[in-house]
Structure 1
């Protein structure tokens, strides 16, 4: 359950530091924010409980994990039948290749970021999964050639 919280400059500094290094010790975080360790710990807990800090994680190199294919896929729907759309969303959420998916305005209804081993694996993803979804009319693939910018946190 999330609670309401008033965000101040000190909270923004805590969030900024944790986005850059979520493994920082509470003592180091407290020192960098000019707080006592107990006050800093309480503030981080309050930010977590309020949902400002949703989770912690690691940024990994997908290529070093053997995931060398990266694409942005624009998906167009046949129609916006609520049941078919819900079924599609549940199916997308279950696919590990789909790293992100956004409902969007414009020509495409959804934009997905898909990461997998290679072009053959991606082709199997299209044929065995995406094109078998009742709601999907068409998909356009934009292969990512190189990563120009990858943000690891929000500007606070």
Structure 2
């Protein structure tokens, strides 16, 4: 973490992470600074890349994506070309929410949201398994989400 962040910056980040639509006046009330100071700090944090953007948090289930799946993938060969081909494949798949290159038994863990078993079957059988870079695919359907947080643990940082 950058040493230039003080407790006001961290509180500002925490509040904006909770609600990115806060006005400078609302932010000022929440962290006990003036609106102009909040505006300057927010602009600096955006310019320095601490705040990468703002987005709407959509409900995947209300949009019909009822199934959350973690797919573990092993590449056929472990070289830069295979990794790049797999990475390019994932970038073109809108159902992929997150993807991680891993240490251990599997090379990648990929989190996907699909509408149901038919979509999952199509993704695995028609897209992933035939891909030249992929050797093995293992799926795990998420039964329940115990905690979901897309942010960063700003509070207590320092």
TM-score (norm 2): 0.92
Alignment of 1:121-140 (within 5 A): 121-140=119-138
Q: Give secondary structure in 2 for the equivalent of 1:99.
A: strand
1:21 aligns with 2:27: no
Structure 1 distance, partners of 2:102, 2:150, is 22
User: Structure 2 regions of 5+ residues with no counterpart?
Assistant: none
Q: Give secondary structure in 1 for the equivalent of 2:43.
A: helix
Note the aligned Cα RMSD (angstroms).
Answer: 1.3
Could you tell me which of 103, 108, 111 is aligned with 1:110?
108
Q: 1:98 offset after TM fit, Å?
A: 0.5
Structure 1 distance, partners of 2:45, 2:62, is 33
1:97 aligns with 2:86: no
Structure 2 distance, partners of 1:87, 1:113, is 18
1:34 aligns with 2:32: yes
Q: Is the 8 Å Cα contact of residues 5 and 47 (structure 1) preserved in structure 2?
A: no
Q: 1:5 offset after TM fit, Å?
A: 7.4
Alignment of 1:79-98 (within 5 A): 79-98=77-96
Structure 2 distance, partners of 1:81, 1:75, is 15
User: Structure 1 regions of 5+ residues with no counterpart?
Assistant: none
Structure 2 equivalent of residue 150 of structure 1: 148
Q: 1:135 offset after TM fit, Å?
A: 1.1
Structure 1 equivalent of residue 64 of structure 2: 66
Q: 1:48 offset after TM fit, Å?
A: 0.8
- Sort the Cα spacing of 1:83 and 1:140 in 2 relative to 1 into closer, same or farther, 3 A: same
